[in-house]
Every structure is written in C-alpha cells, then in structure tokens.
Amino acid sequence: MTRHLLSSADLSRSEVENILATAESMHDLQRREVKKVPTLRGRTVINFFFEDSTRTRSSFEIAGKWMSADTINLSAKGSSTSKGESLRDTAMTIDAMSVDALVIRHHASGACQQVSQWVRCSVINAGDGTHEHPTQALLDAYTLRSRLGDLDGKHVVIVGDLTHSRVFRSNVITLKTLGARVTVVAPPTLMPSGIATWSASDGFATSWDLDAVLGGDDPVDAVMMLRVQRERMSGGYFPTAREYTVGYGLTRDRLDRLVARNPEVLILHPGPMNRGLEIAPEAADSARSVVLDQVSAGVAVRMAVLYHLLAGNDADTPPREPGRAPDLETTPAVAALPSAAPQPEGVAR
Amino acid sequence: MTRLLVRGARILGGDPADLLVEDGVIREVGAMGAEGTGVEVIDADGLVALPGLVDLHVHLREPGREDAETIATGSAAAAVGGYTAVFAMANTSPVTDTAEAAERVLDLGRAAGLVDVVPVGAVTKGLEGAELAELGLMARSRAQVRVFSDDGRCVHDARLMRRALEYVKAFGGVISQHAQDPRLADATACCHEGELSGRLGLPGWPSVAEETIVARDVMLARHTGSRIHVAHVSTAGTVEVVRWAKAQGIDVTAEVTPHHLALTTDLLAGYDPVYKVNPPLRPQEDVEALRAALADGTIDVVATDHAPHARQDKEHTFVDAAFGMLGLETALAVVSDLMVRPGLLDWADVARVMSTAPARIGGLTGHGRALEPGSPANITLVDPDREVTVDAASSRSRSRNNPWHGRTFRGAVHTTIHRGTVTHSTDTTVMESAS
C-alpha cells in the first residue's frame, strides 16, 4: 500500500484483506463502552470536504477521534475554484501545516490524485466527483464478507446510475479484487461511456434488463442499489421517476422474487436512499437489508485505513501510557485486539 | 540597402542553392559567387529552406490576458517556431469583433515586428452566437480581415451560419468553424468521451459532436456556394465527412493541430490539466486517421491552436482547469518527426501544409510564395537532422502549459527570416549580427 488511498485499484487483494482484518478489530472496539485508543495520538487528520457529505465526513471524523488523532473538518463548498484559490494553493496551504493525512471529498473527478502530487501528507479519497470512493467499496466488501464469508465466486449485482456513480467505479474494482463476480445494470443512458470494452477488459457483466439478471441462471448473492438523482431526469437520462422504478427499482415485487430464489440474498445501498424511486421501503427495511451494517462498517473500515496509512509501518508512534487500555500499538498485529481487553456485553452495534 | 545571402540551402528539400535577399525581397536564386561586402551570410549547408510558416490558428491573449501571453511574446514564440505570419483568434477581451479591434491587433503585431499578426474576426458579436459581427467593416479595415471565427465556441445556430457563409462571399472571406455541438458536448465536457472518460468519471465529448456540425456545415457551404474551413479536426469521422465533401467539389478546407497528430487521450489518466484541450485528445485510431488525412491531402493545413494559459488557470481540478496547450515553438519539430521522417510527407508537402495552403486560405499574398526572385523574403530554414528536447522553461511564450516538455524530436527550425530580417536563429552569431 502506498502513502495514499486514491483509487480502489491502489489495493492488492492481500492489502484489502489486511485492511478488512484490521477493520474487524476496530469493529469490536465500536462495541465497547470506551471506544478510544491512543494509536494516532499526536497525529492530525484534516477532513477537507469540498462537497456536502453527512455520513462520510462523520464516519471519518469518528474514526479519527476514536484513534485519538486530532481531526479537523474543513468545508469549502461553494468556493469557486476557478475564480478563487487554485486547488494547488489550497492543498499546499494545508500541507504546510504539517498535517499527517488529508481526507478529501471533492466534486471534481481526479482532485485527490492531483492533490497527492503536491503534498507530503497522506491523501485519502473520500469520494472524487464521479470517479471513485475507495473507502465505500471497502466498507461494502466488509459488510458482504461479514455475511457471506469469502467473496470468491459470489455474484453481486450493482443497479442504478452508473454514469455518475463513484460507488460503482470503486466497488467493481474491489469486488473483482476479492474474486466476486459482478453484473452492473442500468438503462443505456446511465451506462458510462466505453462500458462495453471496459467491462470486457475488467471482467464484469453488463445488462439493461434487471429482471433478466435477477431471475437469470446465475443466482444473486447481493444486490447493491445506487442512488438515482431526480435531476437526471431533466438531463434526459430517463423520462420519469415512475418509469425508472418500473425498469430498475428494487420494488417489493422484485424483492419477493429475489428472496424466493435466495433467502440469504443481501440488499445494499450506499445512501442516501430515495425510497420509492430506486428502492422500495419494504426492501430498504427488510430483514435482507444491510444498509445500516454498511454505515456501521464505515467507521471501522476508515479506522483501519487510517491505521494502515499512518501507523502501519511507523515506529514513530507515541509511547503507550501504562494502564491505559485498550492500546492498539501494543501489537502491530491489530487482529489480536479482541482478546486484549474484556468486552462489555450487550453494547448495541 | 540590407542584403542577406543564404548559402547552400536545399529549397523544399531539393538541391542546394543560394538565395540572395535584398530589402525584404528575394532577388536571386541559384549558385552565387563571392558575396562581396555588406552582405550578411547564413551558412545553410544541410538545411532545408521553406517559405516562412503560416499559422492559421493561434491565441495571443492580447488584449485581456496579457499575463498569459502578449502579441509580442506570442510573436517571439512564433519566430522561434519558424513562423512569419500567424492568425490571431478573436476570443480576446474585448473580442475582435469590430474594425477598430482588428486594427489594434494588427498594429500591436507590427510594433512587435517579428511576424505578421493577422487578426481573425469574430463571426458573431461578442462570440455570443446570436448576431453577426461587423464582418464587412473588418474586411474593409486596414487589417483586411478575411478569416472569421468564433473559435472557442461553435457557430451553432444553423441559420446564422448560413448567413455568415453567404455574407463573406462578397469579400472573399472564409468561416473557420470550431465544430462542436454544444448540445452534445455540454459545458462540463472536458475530454474525449470513451472508455477512459468512463473510467475516470470525467464528462466527455463524443466524437459525433464534432462530426455532425462538420456534416451540416459542408452542406451549408454547398448550398451557399461559399467557403468553409474546419478548424482543428480531431476525429476520423470528420476526416470521412471532409473527404466526401471534397469529392463533391464543396469548397472545404481543414486543419489539424500537432497535438492531435501526436498525443492521445490516454495521457489524461493522471488528470494532468496540461493535456486538457478543446477539442480533446482522441484515441490512437483517430490520430492515425488524421496523419493519413494530412498525408493524402484531405486535411490541408497544420495549425497549432497555440493556447497559452497563466499557471493559476491550469492548476485546478481537471474539469475546472482552462483548455489549451502551447504549440507555436514545437509544431515544425512535431511534423518533422511524425510526418517527414516516416515518409508520410516530404519537405515540399510541409511547405504546402504549413505555409502555402494556410496563406491561400487566409488570403495572404505575401506568404506561402515560392522561393524565387520577386517573392517576399519570408523564409524558414530547417535542420532536418537536429534533435531537440523540449524544455518548457525555455519557451519564449509567457505561459508554460507545454504538453511537449521532455519529448525529443528530430528536425528543428534553424533560422526564421521575416521580410528579409532574421527573427530567429539557433546560430547565435547570426542573431547578434542581425540585431
């Protein structure tokens, strides 16, 4: 793993598995009464969000705080970069404050990759335009693995606005990295350009027909519904919300058919959901839905990413205070953590 | 009386000959004896002599963005690139859409005195695409504007385009169209639409956004009996349309930039805005079709679309960064390396596509002339064997958005002679004595 996490393609299978293993330890920590560990004490993590976000920003913020990093949230929404400060100046200004990591959410594809070339700190992509969202793919993989086990050969279907989805772009990479089979479904107008050659070279399937995929010969282990923005209608991507739902929504009827074929099928959604558009409330709230598990996994996965980027191979972490438990830095192998301290029972996930 | 003797240059790559220049005009061509006194001598042994290069498409940013380029710095870059005339596009601030604005560009070019700076007039007022600019007054002005373009924007309205094509016939004008349907390539589009744009999550321009406009415009040119020039052709489909139109006898000409001949869309994988340009870099198939079309004459002209930008306008995210790249200083080297060395063009062809044809399309009588007695002494000497490695920092342009930095080309401009005066030479002794 490099200094940065910019794209899901930066991670090999073993690196993904390492992060997910660490995330399991972190997830155990979430169930404790005292959630704070000193692992990143003295480190500074800036969450720089050029675009609105509730869950991703709070998830990164909690992850940093639970690891004792100094986390600072900056928001630059609405600042017109074309008229104001250049992206390079903004990035170098933050970097000059000697921060350790810069978590960036940006409305422009490639922004994190560009920033990474100008700064000394680690850069973590928290979603760049319609490009990628690698920690989302990791938390989705974490959620899937916690229910399905090894993802080798598992069939995951991703449905929705693929053109504008960074969740799709990162997920298709990470899922393939972990050996899953992926089918992506969208109307032709919401398929990214070049999808035919892209899917062929990267080894995933595409379809315009959701029912054919869900009812096909290849049983479905999980369905990931992507958010469809209503403003896409004005761009002429599809005629009406009603028509979209009939063609590509996870309706109650489709849910029933899915569960009838595979009672263990999982329903994912990165949020925020448009209930009634791409996902019926019955599907969102069904026993097969793991939407809240995804959110919960988000904190653990982001802790794991921060750990691997900032503390993983670094001997320069602050010394442990005796008697203060739990302490992640006692063992580089964080996976050993669950046995390191008694876990309170009955703490809600 | 200033006299200049160019010794032993291979005219258009042919046999060596001497050229005697007096008072800005070529007086004699052939084998000459001792030069006598008061004659400046350029040893052109091994060099190829071309008529001074003419660029139909540059952006000099003055007036308005003198921090990115001025007519003087752009002229200096042009001289380094072997150019003796450049057509300055109208998308300045204010726009070149009046006779006064055109004359101002002309005068600033004369003051700089390194190349003939020929203003291009806007087709529509303020490049707004709504009303015709004063095309006739610009044509009648001292600047004698003949090329009109809203470059940077497409003249999208079909009726307006038809009227413009008809109107400029009265004074032998030509419309240079930036072919790009704004409804197919919206305001956020920033790269070629294809697999890479899909992967990178960048909004793309489909090739068809260019091709449909070119198809429409050649039919309008046929209908009006007028001339149409297609600026910076970037796709194989456009080449097909232009080839078909020429076969029909439609009066269409087309240009290609060095970067569209050489660079491909996969350079965008790192989101480096230096490669952001309009029209966008295309895939290898298009690049090959463009080279073939330039070789077979379907494409008439190499034009640089030299587009300097201040550093801060490029240091943004890819979608927010400005469009355009430098080209004046490197064009001949790129054409030499990519077209001449593989045998796709010979030096007579280079003279055609980089001097004669652009001068003819732009209505310049003093440029693109055969190197023979009586012609104005606009001469470019090329060293076909010299290797040059491009260094962005050493550019005479005021800007540094140079996509060629670090690349090595074989074939380089040695000396540029503009109206009998040496305006550039890699031989410093010549420059010193000339100044």
* CATH number for the domain that contains residue A190: 3.40.50.1370
Are B199 and A169 inside 8 Å of each other by CB?
yes
- pLDDT value of residue B286: 98
Question: Which CATH number is B3-48+375-397+404-434's, of 2.30.40.10, 3.60.10.10, 3.30.70.1340, 3.90.226.10?
Answer: 2.30.40.10
The whole-angstrom separation of Cα A147 and Cα A330 is 30
Nearest to A110 among B193, B204, B318 (CB): B318
Residue given tokens 């899915």 in the structure block: A258
Residue A130 touches chain B, beta carbons under 8 Å: yes
In this prediction, the residues of chain B whose per-residue pLDDT falls under 70 are 1, 35, 428-435
Q: Indicate whether A338 belongs to any domain.
A: no
Nearest chain B alpha carbon to A162: B198
Catalytic residue among B116, B217, B300, B305: B305
Q: How many Å separate Cα B97 from the centre of its chain?
A: 20
Q: Chunked in runs of 10, what are the mean pLDDT values of chain A (349 residues)?
A: 91 97 92 90 94 91 96 75 73 92 96 95 97 98 98 98 97 98 97 96 97 95 93 82 96 97 97 95 97 96 96 48 40 40 39
Query: Is A77 annotated for ligand binding?
Result: no
Query: Does the active-site annotation cover B305?
Result: yes
Q: Do A107 and A152 fall within a single domain?
A: no
Asked if A78 and A146 sit in the same domain, the reply is: no
The answer to whether B195 contacts A194, with C-beta atoms less than 8 Å apart, is yes
**Residues A226 and A80 placed together within one structural domain of the fold:** no
Q: Which of A50, A240, A129 is nearest to B188 (CA)?
A: A129
Q: Are residues A154 and A179 in the same domain?
A: yes
Residue B27 identity (one-letter amino acid): R
Q: Which pLDDT does position A313 carry in this prediction? A: 54
| Chain B stretch 109-128, residues whose beta carbon is closer than 8 A to a beta carbon of chain A | none
- Residues A314 and A216 placed together within one structural domain of the fold: no
Distance to chain B for A288, nearest Cα, Å:
31
CATH (residue range B52-362) = 3.20.20.140
pLDDT of residue B430: 52
CB < 8 Å from A in window 232-271 of B: 270-271
In-domain check, residue A63: yes
Is residue A339 in some structural domain? no
Provide ipTM, 2 decimals. 0.87
| Residues of chain B contacting A116 with CB distance shorter than 8 Å | none
**pLDDT > 70: percent of chain B:** 98
Residue A162 sits in the same domain as residue A227 = yes
A132 in contact with B, Cβ within 8 Å: yes
Question: What pTM was estimated for this model as a whole?
Answer: 0.91
pLDDT given at position A78:
54
The H-or-E segment that residue A298 falls in is helix A291-306
Cis peptide bond N-terminal to B51, omega within 30: no
Identify the pLDDT of residue B433. 43
Contact at 8 Å (CB) between A115 and B207?
no
- Strand B16-22 to strand B25-30: parallel, antiparallel, or no bridges (unpaired)? antiparallel
Task: Using an 8 Å CB-CB cutoff, list chain B residues near A113.
Answer: 270-271
Last residue of a domain, one of A271, A294, A317: A294
Give the closest of A108, A128, A192 to B320, CB-based.
Answer: A108
CA distances to A48, A117, B190, B323, B394 from A112, rounded to whole Å, are 11, 9, 18, 20, 30
- Distance CA(A128)–CA(B213), nearest Å, equals 33
Binding-site residues from annotation of B: 57, 59-61, 91, 151, 178, 232, 278, 305, 309, 323-324
- Report the residue of chain A nearest B200, measured CA to CA: A131
Residues A81 and A99 reside in one and the same domain: yes
Q: Are residues A165 and A260 in the same domain?
A: yes
Are residues A109 and B318, on separate chains, in Cβ contact within 8 Å?
Answer: yes
Q: What SS3 string covers chain B?
A: CCEEEEEEEEECCCCEEEEEEECCEEEEEECCCCCCCCEEEEECCCCEEEECEEEEEECCCCCCCCCCCCHHHHHHHHHHCCEEEEEECCCCCCCCCCHHHHHHHHHHHHHHCCCEEEECECCEHHHCCCCECCHHHHHHCCCCCCEECCCCCCCCCHHHHHHHHHHHHHHCCEEEECCCCCCCCCCCCCEECCHHHHHHCCCEECHHHHHHHHHHHHHHHHHHCCCEEECCCCCHHHHHHHHHHHHCCCCEEEEECHHHHHCEHHHHHHCCHHHCCCCCCECHHHHHHHHHHHHHCCCCEECCCECCCCHHHHCCCCCCCCCCECCCCCHHHHHHHHHHCCCCCCHHHHHHHHHHHHHHHHCCCCCCCCCCCCCECCEEEEEEEEEEECCHHHCCCCCCCCCCCCCEEEEEEEEEEECCEEEEECCHHHHHHHC
Of A89, A110, A114, the CB nearest to B200: A110
CB contact under 8 A, A198 and B270: no
Looking at the structure, do residues A141 and A281 belong to the same domain, yes or no?
Answer: yes
Q: Is A4 on the interface with B (CB under 8 A)?
A: no
Q: Do A54 and A192 reside in the same domain of the chain?
A: no
Domain holding A204, by residue range, is 134-294
Cβ contacts (< 8 Å) between B201 and chain A: which residues? 109-110, 128-132, 166, 169, 192
Whether A164 and A290 share a structural domain: yes
Q: What does the pLDDT read at residue A31?
A: 86
Domain count within chain A: 2
Domain map (residue ranges) of chain B:
3-48+375-397+404-434, 52-362
Q: How far apart are CA A15 and CA A85, in angstroms?
A: 36
Q: Any binding-site annotation on A36?
A: no
Q: Which residue from B114, B100, B96 is spatially nearest to B59, judged by alpha carbons?
A: B96
Residue of B nearest to A106 (CA): B317
CB contact under 8 A, B315 and A166: no
Note whether residue A283 is domain-resident. Answer: yes
The Cβ-side half-sphere exposure at B100, using a 13 Å CA radius, reads 1
Q: What's the mean pLDDT when you consider all of chain B?
A: 96
Contacts of B200 in chain A (CB under 8 A): 109-110, 131
Q: Are residue A70 and residue A158 in the same domain, yes or no?
A: no
Contact B407, B325 (CB under 8 A): no
Give the model's pLDDT for residue A317. 39
Nearest chain A CA: its distance from B319 CA (Å)? 6
Determine, yes or no, domain membership for A337: no
Q: Could A110 and B206 be called an inter-chain contact, meaning their C-beta atoms sit closer than 8 Å? A: no
- On whether any CB of chain B is under 8 Å from the CB of A232, the answer is no
